Amino acid sequence: MIDIHSHILPGLDDGSSAMEESIAMLRMAAAFGTTDIVATPHANMQFAFDPADVERRIAELQEAAGDVVRIHYGCDFHLTPENIDDALRAPGKYSINHRGYLLVEFSDGFIPKTTGEIFTAMRNAGICPIVTHPERNRLLQKKIEDLEAWVEQGCCLQVTAQSLLGLFGTHAKEFSHTLMERRLVHFLASDAHDLKHRTTDLKPAWQYVEEHYGGDMARRLFIDNPQSALDGIPLTRVRSRGRKKSWFSFFSQRSEASGRNAGAALASR
């Protein structure tokens, strides 16, 4: 399996606090079938994101842990005006392996009305936004039509694996299943922060998806789509079961970033 969302780098954010914990998290991931993991420290008002520092810490952790799991570059990107403008100027700075797929986290208290326009600007700059854990965001739980529209325009959704199992509460579990039934989920990931509560163990979620949605779906969400994100290539097309009878499209054509300077204005409307 390939885990595209984790906070395994020690001391960078609210995830792992020490190298020993990070190594133990990697060993846990490997023990339960994960071969690759993306380190995605936050980029928000609380935690600054320094690409060079992230690269250095990935190299240090990989050397310390050995080849038990391959560690890849990424970011847990928050939609602030400053972040948006910076990402549009440098599309590879925050994206997975610098190849275009970008984890995007919304605030629990505010969803910009211009999100669709922001995502269009990102797509035009060669970025494919991956909305992270919408099932855990109370505002997004009420905006499934918006989620469908964003997917229609080429964005992706990533659900936390533990949400499917009910470990983030009833509402998160129910909305996870709604998204799964409508085939709006493109990735399942750990969003791991520690060794006890939010771990790197994806095996129970794989087994759950395999049992309830089939082996092909499990492979798509845990292996095929994550591998495409690592490589920066289009995902497999899947027919939606939602209200809109349309095809998902991903990375249709990468155009030049005509809207690179519009990010802050869009976010602040």
What confidence tens digit (pLDDT) does each residue in 211-245 have?
999 999 999 999 999 999 999 999 975 655 655 43
CB 146 within 8 A of CB 106: no
Treating both helix axes as pointing N-terminal to C-terminal, what angle do 115-124 and 81-89 enclose, rounded to 10 degrees? 20
Band of residue 45 on the pLDDT scale cut at 50, 70, 90 = confident
Alpha-carbon Rg for the chain, nearest whole angstrom, is 17
Q: What is the DSSP string of 24-67?
A: HHHHHHHHTT--EEEE--EESSSS---HHHHHHHHHHHHHHHTT
37: containing domain:
2-268
Structural element, H or E, at residue 5: strand 2-6
Q: How many domains does the chain have?
A: 1
Kindly state the average pLDDT of the residues 48-64: 97
pLDDT score recorded for residue 268: 42
**Separation CA 53–CA 64 (nearest Å):** 16
Q: How many residues does the chain have?
A: 269
d(CA 115, CA 98): 22
Q: What average pLDDT does the chain have? A: 90
- Is residue 132 over pLDDT 90? yes
Q: What is the rounded average pLDDT of the residues 12-22?
A: 94
Q: How many CB atoms lie within 10 A of CB 249?
A: 15
Instruction: Indicate whether 141 pLDDT > 90.
Output: yes
CA distance 199 to 211: 22
User: Which segment of 107-116, 175-184, 235-244, 252-261 scores lowest on mean pLDDT?
Assistant: 252-261
Dist. CA 98–CA 221, nearest whole Å: 21
Q: Does the pLDDT of residue 264 top 70, yes or no?
A: no
**Rounded mean pLDDT of 90-117?**
95
Please say whether the beta carbons of 5 and 132 come within 8 A: yes
Predicted TM-score (pTM) of the model is 0.88
Find the mean pLDDT for residues 242-261.
40
Alpha helices per DSSP H over the chain: 19-31, 51-65, 81-89, 115-124, 144-152, 161-164, 170-181, 203-213, 215-219, 225-231, 263-268
- Given a contact cutoff of 8 angstroms between Cβ atoms, the answer to whether 201 and 162 are in contact is no
Percent of the chain with pLDDT over 70: 88
Using the predicted structure, report yes or no on whether residue 207 has a pLDDT greater than 80.
yes
The alpha carbon dihedral of 105, 24, 200, 2 has a sign of positive
CATH number at residue 240: 3.20.20.140
